[in-house]
Amino acid sequence: MPLRTTLFRVTSLALLVKLAGAPLNYLMLVALARAMDLEGYGVFAFGFSAALTLGQIALMGQQQLVMRVLPANTEPENAPVWKAALAYGLRHVAGAGAVLTLAFALYSLADAENRPMLAAALLVLPIAFAEFQSSVLRTQNRILSALVPRDILWRLSVIAAAGLVMLGILPQLEPTGAFLLCAGTLAFWLLVQSRFDPATRYRTAIAGPRTPHTAEWRGMSKSFWLASVVIVSGPNLAVVAIGLVMSPEKTAPFFAALKTAQLMTLLLLAANLAVTPMISRAYAEGARGTLRKICQSVSAAAGGFAALGMVAFWAFGGFALSLFGAGYATAKPELLILSFGFAVSAAGGPNGILMQMAGQEKAFARLSLIWNAAGLAALVPAVWAFGTLGAASVVALSTIAWNVHAWYLCRSRIGIDPSLLGFILPRLPQED
């Protein structure tokens, strides 16, 4: 099948699932807020954000490693390498996930007020495996199998349970119950996904062969891991910082604003899911014209969507936050600040994916660490001094900074401009 036809088909599937999944994710968080009181939802926001961060750490960069290695080893003669890469990833995700789950559980037992976090610890492994399984299936262009269990079915399950609470059939959710609901339903759908697809039946795969590539994969994994952790954890750690410094009643509206603002990157995330293996193949084949077209298509769609989102949030941001319940609309200023940062990220296109698939994963890891470490260092002082507005400003500025840095390196080192500016600035000689 021609690359352009494959790109259109896979991107369309990913986009359709994400267009359904992102609103469902939003509705899931709204439903949980409606099923809990403001203080309880603040505790949930803290634990859920911490679990998301730990789940990203537990991945150990393996979700990107399989995206880099598996597409290049699909031929029958390369089957041992394919199986070895899958086994390598599985061992690291399972081991790191178990250690971090235990660490989070011990933290919850250290203080009686933290006991709900014992249930939140159960989210770490399912979150990590959901991302890893999705990446494995995406390398085979199995977009529906990769995305539907987590993005659609899991969220519908949580929404249904929270709906029973709102209807008065079930009692009001406490944080512990919310954590158990999310962890249990996600684990169930991951098991279903694994049973129906041989690529994710891990009982035999985890004992796969070892190869001489292990040292190379270890170095690549470190770079992928560092970049993904600092980028994903930054916004989530802002919620954690607010939860540590301020009250749950302040944490809950900020969490709602953050999750609303992240809708700005909906099209970027959907496109990245589809084009990552295609960018990897196009770069490996030296098809720079194709590479440029892929990046331009992504930045045009993502940037245009983000621009519309900014206008919508200015007009209806308060209403969107009020869906969570009374007291949430007070976070509209934070929503506008956060949405501006995510809009710049969307306009930057698949810059991080391009760098990681084009052999610049170490440079991307360094720039991610520099800017997000600076943001994390400024986070607690900003929260102490300016409250949730300070946290929103730090998240937005660090997001803008790493995207601008990545854009510069894409142009100077790879010779491809993945951003909206690629339509305006003169074409680079290497892009032809």
Cα 195 to Cα 23, 158, 189, 191, 324, distances in angstroms: 27, 21, 10, 6, 36
* Predicted local confidence at residue 404, as pLDDT: 95
Average pLDDT value for residue range 71-78: 64
Show the tokens assigned to 80: 């041992």
Helix 248-261 to helix 332-347 angle (10° resolution) is: 30
Query: What confidence category does residue 5 fall into, taking pLDDT thresholds of 50, 70 and 90?
Result: low
Which one is predicted more confidently, 282 or 211?
Answer: 282
208: pLDDT strictly greater than 50: yes
117: pLDDT strictly greater than 70: yes
* Predicted local confidence at residue 210, as pLDDT: 62
99: pLDDT strictly greater than 70: yes
- pLDDT tens for 260-306 read 999 888 888 877 877 877 888 788 888 888 888 889 889 998 999 99
- pLDDT tens for 349-392 read 999 889 988 888 889 888 988 898 898 889 889 988 899 999 99
d(CA 79, CA 96): 26
Share of the chain above pLDDT 90, in %: 42
* Predicted local confidence at residue 211, as pLDDT: 64
> How many CB atoms sit inside 10 A of residue 212's CB?
8
d(CA 120, CA 48): 7
Cβ-in-10-Å burial (0-12, 13-18, 19+) of 304 comes to middle
Q: How many residues does the chain have?
A: 432
- pLDDT tens for 307-320 read 999 999 999 999 99
Average pLDDT value for residue range 3-26: 67
* Predicted local confidence at residue 203, as pLDDT: 64
Query: What confidence category does residue 179 fall into, taking pLDDT thresholds of 50, 70 and 90?
Result: very high
* Predicted local confidence at residue 344, as pLDDT: 95
- pLDDT mean across residues, the chain: 85
Share of the chain above pLDDT 70, in %: 88
Show the tokens assigned to 15: 């986009």
d(CA 422, CA 77): 39
pTM of this structure: 0.80
Query: What confidence category does residue 45 fall into, taking pLDDT thresholds of 50, 70 and 90?
Result: very high
* Predicted local confidence at residue 205, as pLDDT: 61
d(CA 243, CA 248): 6
- Around 158, how many Cα atoms within 13 Å sit in the side-chain half-sphere? 33
Rounded to 5 degrees, φ, ψ at 416 are: -130, 130
Cα 156 to Cα 23, 129, 186, 198, 261, distances in angstroms: 11, 19, 11, 25, 21
Show the tokens assigned to 170: 């079930």
User: CA-based angle 103:106:108, to the nearest 5?
Assistant: 115
Asked if 268 contacts 347 with a C-beta cutoff of 8 angstroms, the reply is: no
Which one is predicted more confidently, 5 or 342?
Answer: 342
Average pLDDT value for residue range 114-120: 89
Query: What confidence category does residue 3 fall into, taking pLDDT thresholds of 50, 70 and 90?
Result: very low
Complete DSSP assignment for 245-314: HS-HHHHHHHHHHHHHHGGGGHHHHHHHHHHHHHHHHHHHTT-HHHHHHHHHHHHHHHHHHHHHHHHHHH
